[in-house]
Copies of this chain bind each other. A is one copy, B any other.
Amino acid sequence: MMTKSDIPTPALVVDLPTMERNIRLMSDYFASRACKLRPHFKAHKTPEIARRQIAAGSCTGLTCATIGEAEVAATVSNDILIANEIVDADKCRRAAALAQKVGVTVAIDSVAGLEQLSRAATEAGVTLGVLVDLNVGQNRCGVAPGEEAVALGKRARTMPGLKLRGVMGYEGHAVGIHHRAEREAAVRRSMNQLSSTAKMFAEAGLPTELVSGGGTGSYDISSEVERINEIQAGSYALMDSDYGSLDTPFQQALFVLGTVVSRPVPERCVIDAGHKACTKDHGNPSVKGMKDATVLALNDEHAIIAIPPASQVRVGDRLALVPSHIDPTMNLHDVVYALDGDNVVGVWPIAARGYGRG
């Protein structure tokens, strides 16, 4: 059997028992609640992981960030939310084609986007669900909560081929706040905007079948807000050092394995995993199991690591990095090696990585 030491580096490895515990903890949390979980596929892009998330229960379907992810996620779930705007003719056609096989709902924040989706759905003879996307403080996409959202919802209802299903809003600016009370306050401010807009939808006779938001840093805050009935958390299954520094019950399951290629001086070693194997957009990774080691720099193909001069690390040894941000790190690799102890029990395609599928 292939073992950890046979894996060519740099490589992604997942500790399977830890991942399964994370998935179980999250599905248990939602099991007894009215609010359910719609795991975000963008976190890992890996059908084998999504299958386990859905099998654990408490899930309504999957959340995706792109049409390419949705096409892959549809092999695992028949209820797909693209929690992102899709506005060009080619991607709208792909969304409509996908809707011939599974339920597809897309976030919208413009009339131009509605028109493209409506045209594609009509031409394909399908119905595409739409959710009005709210800016709840992240200042990215999304219309203003309240009247502006209601107006767009009313417009959506007039468009052939589309079925308005409700509203969504992602509190991305708040999910990573370290201090629990501050995070709770910021998340509630955002989610109250989502909730009050859902109330206005209901009062205007617009559907609120889906009121969707939340992430791994806010799942147990947002899910308690009235009317919110879906949480889009993704990172909880694998985790990263950024989310790991919060007070969640989930443990680190994903690592980037590298080989020490150089120890030119006692106080420094270099491994063959750089930022083309492990992104640093949320900061440098840490080194698994070595509290006295610090990543000084991630270059393209090198992690430069400060170590105590007395360390026994030698050229040829293997070290594991703990990524600071899971989503773009997964995106760099074609496969992830599933480990049970030191045994490789699966080599899973990260089937929705990249843009080959758009």
User: Chain A: residues with CB nearer than 8 A to chain B?
Assistant: 8-11, 42, 65-66, 84-88, 90-91, 109-110, 112-113, 116, 135, 139-144, 172, 259-264, 268, 270, 272, 275-277, 279-281, 297-302, 304, 314-316, 327-328, 331-334, 354-356, 358
The residues of B that contact A302 with a CB separation of less than 8 Å are: 140-141
In the complex, 24 of the A-B residue pairs with CB atoms within 8 angstroms, ordered by the A residue number, are A8-B355, A8-B358, A10-B355, A42-B300, A42-B301, A85-B270, A87-B315, A87-B316, A88-B259, A109-B262, A110-B264, A110-B315, A113-B261, A140-B304, A141-B261, A141-B262, A276-B327, A276-B328, A280-B281, A281-B298, A300-B327, A332-B354, A334-B355, A334-B356
Given A300-B42, A327-B300, A143–B264 Cβ distance below 8 Å? Answer: yes
A296 to chain B: closest residue by CB: B139
Number of copies: 2
* Shortest distance from the beta carbon of A27 to any chain B beta carbon, whole Å: 25
Given A139-B268, A355-B8, A85–B261 Cβ distance below 8 Å? Answer: yes
A357 to chain B: closest residue by CB: B8
The residues of B that contact A116 with a CB separation of less than 8 Å are: 316
Indicate which residue in B66, B109, B280, B354 contacts A334 across the interface (CB closer than 8 Å). B354
CB of A270 within 8 A of CB of B141, answer yes
CB of A333 within 8 A of CB of B315, answer no
The residues of B that contact A304 with a CB separation of less than 8 Å are: 139-140
Given A65-B300, A333-B354, A354-B334, A262–B85 Cβ distance below 8 Å? Answer: yes
* Shortest distance from the beta carbon of A133 to any chain B beta carbon, whole Å: 8
CB of A8 within 8 A of CB of B90, answer yes
* Shortest distance from the beta carbon of A342 to any chain B beta carbon, whole Å: 17
Indicate which residue in B86, B109, B334, B356 contacts A264 across the interface (CB closer than 8 Å). B109
Name the residue among A264, A275, A280, A304 with the largest chain B CB count within 10 angstroms: A264
The residues of B that contact A87 with a CB separation of less than 8 Å are: 259-262, 315-316
A277 to chain B: closest residue by CB: B355
* Shortest distance from the beta carbon of A13 to any chain B beta carbon, whole Å: 13
* Shortest distance from the beta carbon of A10 to any chain B beta carbon, whole Å: 6
CA separation between A280 and B263, bound complex, in Å? 29
CA separation between A270 and B140, bound complex, in Å? 7
CB of A331 within 8 A of CB of B332, answer yes
CB of B328 within 8 A of CB of A355, answer no
The residues of B that contact A109 with a CB separation of less than 8 Å are: 262, 264
The residues of B that contact A355 with a CB separation of less than 8 Å are: 8, 10-11, 277, 333-334
The residues of B that contact A315 with a CB separation of less than 8 Å are: 87, 110, 112-113
A7 to chain B: closest residue by CB: B90
A358 to chain B: closest residue by CB: B8
Given A87-B315, A332-B354, A142–B264 Cβ distance below 8 Å? Answer: yes
The residues of B that contact A139 with a CB separation of less than 8 Å are: 268, 304
CB of A328 within 8 A of CB of B275, answer yes
